[in-house]
Amino acid sequence: MSIACVVGTDLGSTTTKSVILDESGEVLGRGITNSRSDYDRAAKVARSEAFITARFNLLKREVEQAAGPEVLQHLLDAFRLEQTLAQLDRLHQLVSGTLAFGVPGELAGPAAEAVDTIIARIRQEELDRFKETNPSKRSDFFRDTVGSAWSTISEEIGDPKGVSFDMLLGLYDKCIIQVENEPLALGFGDHIESALVRIGGSTEVKTGVHHAVEAEFDVREEVGTGYGRQRLPFPKEMIRSEILCHGLGASVMFGGTRTVLDIGGQDTKAIQVDENGIVTSFQMNDRCAAGCGRYLGYIADEMNLGLHELGPLAQKSTRTVKINSTCTVFAGAELRERLSLGEKREDILAGLHRAIMLRAMSLLARSGGVDNEFTFTGGVANNPAAVSALRELVTENYGDKVLNISPDSIYTGALGGAIFAHRSAN
């Protein structure tokens, strides 16, 4: 079976996303990875991840009715577990190989033991998580999940006089980049069989999996967009500005869209579109990435929190602290100053979220204001505190507007790219 499709890839500064559309223009697959300062690799991984979800979608179309959605979700979880374990094995290998020259000779033995302990514990945590019915939300990226566990366990078992926390963390830092950048076999065909064995799927599911593995994709057209788009091996006419892609993507997600705000890793864009999704005006931040996604990442690091924890904590605020700077560097200083003055973390965070949105409001005003309907896209749209600060400011300045946010908003640029590809192919 050969399936005609098109691909849009959005190489962002922080994450890289791919979206696959089938012949009818329906979304067949989505893939995301961290951009890891290697755009070529990131584009390959995001694309390959999108094809994994595309194959899962084919499987879903074929067997969901017979097998039930829970079984397919379970299979997907098992597949993700297999991917994680494969990467964990590779990380183990690399760290063990580094020990010879990465730590003083007398500590090589104890360090190897500590590493084995860490890996074994992470492996067990992953297996336990797989058994949980409703595991807590966490990052999609191996670097983040394993990195966080590695750090916690190292802190616990690290010995300041022997194999220290810093030493263990250093080993991880040295090797994780290689794990991310190697072409590891993490595709659908590589792990679906073992995932199937793990859940013990029915005959229908097995047949469906077989079909999904065998499916061939005929990619008719590809469009690249995003900050690193020049790195994509496409002809010039197949490379589109992310501003056009975000405008079009948002307008396809929500047909009534006239104004789009996209806050990504290091860009904030305010875009006005017409009824066909064609951009009529836009403004974006200058070279300084103040108030963008990175700012939140930095604040999360400063507060020793996960990025996804910031919004919910800020929402607990009862009194928003006024924050002056959206400069990533100054914000750290201002944050510490506020903490030293005894302000509550949640109140400071609420202030930080408002500061980001004030900056976005200025770009929106420059681009021509906020028109109905207003669609908010990019990674920051997943942050509930950012959304409520935005909603408040839009109402204050422009009155009641419909505010659209899709759970898949991070894929907006890639979707726009895929639609351009689809139009070009047809």
Residues near other proteins (CB under 8 A) are: 227, 240-244, 267, 274, 276, 278-284, 286-287, 366, 368
User: What minimum distance in Å lies between the beta carbon of 300 and other proteins?
Assistant: 25
User: What minimum distance in Å lies between the beta carbon of 243 and other proteins?
Assistant: 4
Cβ closest to other proteins, residue 31 vs residue 247: 247
User: What minimum distance in Å lies between the beta carbon of 282 and other proteins?
Assistant: 6
**What is the enclosing helix (H) or strand (E) of 50?**
helix 39-67
Cβ neighbors of 219 (< 8 A, separation 6 or more) are 5, 6, 7
Cβ closest to other proteins, residue 283 vs residue 388: 283
Token pair listed for 229: 């788009």
Cβ closest to other proteins, residue 218 vs residue 275: 275
* Integer Rg of the chain from CA: 23
User: What minimum distance in Å lies between the beta carbon of 284 and other proteins?
Assistant: 6
Cβ closest to other proteins, residue 137 vs residue 236: 236
Helix (H, G, I), strand (E, B) or coil at 61: helix
User: What minimum distance in Å lies between the beta carbon of 14 and other proteins?
Assistant: 15
User: What minimum distance in Å lies between the beta carbon of 97 and other proteins?
Assistant: 34
Question: Position 7: which residue type?
Answer: V
Cβ closest to other proteins, residue 12 vs residue 208: 12
Residue 224 phi, psi (nearest 5): -110, 145
Cβ closest to other proteins, residue 280 vs residue 324: 280
DSSP state for residue 276 in the 8-state scheme:
T
β-bridge pairing 268-273 and 259-263:
antiparallel
Please tell me the distance from the alpha carbon of residue 261 to that of residue 401, in angstroms, as a whole number: 13
Nearest one of 166, 352, 363 to 263, comparing CA atoms: 363
Q: Which single residue is written with the structure tokens 């904590």?
A: 313
Please tell me the distance from the alpha carbon of residue 127 to that of residue 118, in angstroms, as a whole number: 14
Token pair listed for 162: 């022997």
User: What minimum distance in Å lies between the beta carbon of 379 and other proteins?
Assistant: 18
Helix 142-157 to helix 69-102 angle (10° resolution) is 50
Cβ closest to other proteins, residue 36 vs residue 198: 36
